[in-house]
Amino acid sequence: MTKTPVIQLENVSKIYGRGRAAIHANKNINLTINKNEFVVIIGPSGSGKSTLLNLIGSLDYPSKGTIKLDGQNIAQLDESELAQIRGQKIGFVFQSFHLIQSMTALENVMLPLTFQNMSAGEKQKRAINILTKVGLKSRMTHLPGELSGGENQRVAIARALANNPEVIIADEPTGNLDQSTGKKIMDLLLNIYKKEGKTVIIVTHDRDLVNITKSEKVYKIVDGELV
Amino acid sequence: MLRDYFLVAFNNLRRRKLRSWLTVIGIIIGISAIVSLTLVAQGTENAVNAAFEEFGTDVILVQGGATFSRPTPGEYGLENKDIRFFESFGEVDIVIPYVYDTQEVEYKDEKKYPIVYAIDTELWGEFLGRTNFEVEKGRNLQKGETGAIVIGWKLNQDYFEKKVDLKSRIKVSGKTFKVVGIYERVGNDADDTSIAMAIEDARKVFAPPGKVTGAQMIVKDGVNIEEFVKELEEEYEDYRGDKNFIMSTSTAILEQINNILGIIQYVIVGIASIALLVGAVGIANTMYMSVMERTKEIGIMKSIGATNRAILTIFLIESAFFGIVGGIIGCIVGIIMAIGAKLAIEFFSPGLPFLILIDPKVIGGALLFSAVAGIISGILPARSASKMNPVDALRHE
Ligand SMILES: Nc1ncnc2c1ncn2[C@@H]1O[C@H](COP(=O)(O)OP(=O)(O)OP(=O)(O)O)[C@@H](O)[C@H]1O
Ligand SMILES: [Mg+2]
């Protein structure tokens, strides 16, 4: 099997603030992620993991270096092209779910499709399909406040999958969940990697979960640098 | 796509119902004030114009010894020779001299001092055709009829302790007259308590011989009344040898009144606009609060593919909604208020042809105005929402 690079980082740095107060959140990172890999990023708190995921997910521009997504340098894209990439190629999953509280599970999953100009019927069909796949068929009309943590994270994963992106990026997806629920979420993400052929990039603190993934691609980041 | 943005925007409005309504109320107050005041002002203008139309645009009014364009009771500033002077002009069709005075009127031992006016019975029809007076009961004075009067509506009600009716006998300045007719209600007390009689009778009872209070001149068709009145005024001044009279045309008076009404209209709409401005500031305030509270949501929407433009659109829909809904309800409330004002005016002054027309220009203008106010007050908050950095927005708690 030939390896197709999806994400390439070359000498990427991210600096927050300026002058004496500047924080070098990421320093000189070189990283290539190929299609259908399961990548785990670990590291202590404040080491720059989230910063790195945001850059990979084109949520932010790097201060230095180049980031290529499918061979395209994201520094050359403007705000709306970047938004299109986030909408079409990337699916985000966050530690605290980041669902819109006033919308039902179904509406949350349909929202990314709205920004892609999809017809109402098509949106609904797709969202129902994905929610069924993550095991929430009976919970679709519930608001996030009426669902458990694990269920919320399933909704978030369904939302990340809605536009059928190449890459799923999950920043501590189990951080707010108990051990066994966290394991189920991790299984779900593994399934997405194995059965759907997606590229999955996760950040986690949990050593046990890292072991479950049996991933060959585990990167450690310390003080903003890959080690 | 836009339809979906509407759904997202409405979802937000629904979530903060109370605040949304309070914001809308700000606009409702402004728009309803503008609409009702404009409609009432237009109605007033219509009423004035209609009253003048009835009076005619071919009439020159002249008062002797007066300083005011309305008849002054008890002034006898024109003499017979003045009337003949006016009649000598080829442009003048008819001259209707009249006597206008307050007199002691006695009915069943009760004395009052209403206005009594008198006209030559030959000219009676010509005169009445140009007033608000309409006989409701009985009849008008007939040509050459003496010893008879027509009374105002109020005399037939409670003006005197005992009600005056057809065939009642009333003493005017000590002489007894028979009531042959009663006018319809006009709406102002001076007219509704007045008594009309033949000029020959007035001369016998109270008016000085050979003198009248004023006259109406009706000019012939095709005469340029504005030019003619200037000429007449100059010549009459020479003839009289003094400036102690007032000559005016109904068109000139109408123009003056309409000018004043126009200024009043601008002033009240200006004041009402301040209310709308306050409403617009309310929208901006609500929108800023909403942007602040939803910072995280904005980050979420951006992380799942919302462009700046999409965020801007969603927030502008929300602020436009405040403006449009406020505008629609404001127009309805304004129309209801204007109709209420019309009913009140009709109640207190029934003869006035006060007409409220729901002018589509006013309504359309108010709706446009409110929608624009909504959008403009939303622009800055919506821009600040759309420009947010997604990473910072997501970190916001
Ligand atoms: N928007 C920002 N402005 C300023 N500093 C920031 C910003 N985002 C992150 N940082 C700083 O950059 C460093 C890396 O932060 P980051 O969130 O990437 O760490 P992390 O590895 O994800 O930590 P954790 O495990 O606690 O989530 C930290 O020192 C953080 O304070
Ligand atoms: Mg983090």
The pLDDT averaged over each successive group of 10 residues in chain A (227 residues) is: 86 91 93 94 93 94 94 90 93 94 93 91 94 93 94 96 94 92 92 92 86 85 93
Mean pLDDT in residue range B362-377: 91
Residue B329 scores a pLDDT above 70: yes
Shortest Cα distance, chain B CAs vs residue A85, angstroms: 7
Please, which residues have CB within 8 angstroms of residue B10's CB and are 6 or more apart in sequence? B321
Q: How far is the CA of A142 from the centre of ligand 2 (A)?
A: 28
Ligand nearest to the CA of A49: 1
Mean pLDDT in residue range B322-329: 93
User: Tokens 């996030």 — which residue?
Assistant: A144
Residue B275 scores a pLDDT above 90: no
pLDDT at B239: 92
Structural domains of chain A, count: 1
User: Tokens 């007050």 — which residue?
Assistant: B377
Q: Which two tokens stand for residue A87?
A: 């909408």
Mean pLDDT in residue range B318-331: 93
Percent of chain B having pLDDT more than 70? 97
| CATH code of the domain in which A200 resides | 3.40.50.300
d(CA A199, CA B34): 61
Note the ipTM here: 0.94
Backbone angles phi, psi at B187, to 5 degrees: 120, -15
Mean pLDDT in residue range B294-298: 93
Residue A69 in any domain: the answer is: no
Mean pLDDT in residue range B121-130: 83
pLDDT at B328: 95
> pLDDT tier at B64 (50, 70, 90 boundaries)?
confident
Residue A23 in any domain: the answer is: no
Contact B46, B357 (CB under 8 A): yes
Q: How many CB atoms lie within 10 A of CB A169?
A: 28
- B152 closest CA partner among B120, B121, B93, B112: B112
Residue B118 scores a pLDDT above 60: yes
- A154 closest CA partner among A144, A141, A164, A169: A144
Give ∠ CA B315-B320-B324 in degrees, rounded to 5.
Answer: 155
Residue A68 in any domain: the answer is: no
The domain in which residue A219 lies consists of 35-58+78-226
pLDDT at B96: 92
Contact B150, B181 (CB under 8 A): yes
Mutate to test the interface with B, among A23, A82, A114 (most CBs of B within 10 A): A114
pLDDT at A7: 95
d(CA A125, CA A111): 13
pLDDT at A96: 93
Interface of B with A (CB under 8 A): 1, 3-5, 8, 11-12, 15, 296-297, 299-310, 389-391, 394
Residue A11 in any domain: the answer is: no
Least CB–CB distance from B304: residue in A102, A112, A117: A112
Contact B181, B140 (CB under 8 A): yes
Give ∠ CA A200-A203-A204 in degrees, rounded to 5.
Answer: 125
pLDDT at A43: 92
Q: What's the whole-number average pLDDT of chain B?
A: 88
> pLDDT tier at B235 (50, 70, 90 boundaries)?
very high
pLDDT at B386: 94
DSSP of B83-108? HHHHHTSTTEEEEEEEEEEE--EEET
Least CB–CB distance from A83: residue in B296, B306, B391: B306
- A198 closest CA partner among A121, A67, A89: A89
- B70 closest CA partner among B239, B230, B188: B188
Least CB–CB distance from B305: residue in A87, A98, A99: A87
- A199 closest CA partner among A52, A66, A50, A70: A70
Mutate to test the interface with A, among B6, B300, B303, B389 (most CBs of A within 10 A): B303
Q: How far is the CA of A214 from the centre of ligand 2 (A)?
A: 22
Q: How many CB atoms lie within 10 A of CB B85?
A: 18
pLDDT at B351: 63
Using CB distances shorter than 6 Å, the residues near ligand 1 are A 16-17, 23, 25, 43, 45-51; B 391-392
Mean pLDDT in residue range B179-183: 94
Residue A112 in any domain: the answer is: yes
Lowest mean pLDDT among B83-87, B89-93, B126-130, B166-170: B126-130
d(CA A88, CA A118): 12
Residue A135 in any domain: the answer is: yes
Q: How far is the CA of A50 from the centre of ligand 2 (A)?
A: 4
Which tens digits make up the pLDDT trace of B71-103?
678 888 899 999 999 999 999 999 999 999 999
Q: How far is the CA of A48 from the centre of ligand 1 (A)?
A: 6
Atom of ligand 1 nearest to the CA of A54: 18
Q: Where are the domains of chain B?
A: 2-52+255-395, 59-222
Q: Which two tokens stand for residue A13?
A: 């740095």
Q: Which two tokens stand for residue B331?
A: 């127009």
pLDDT at B1: 66
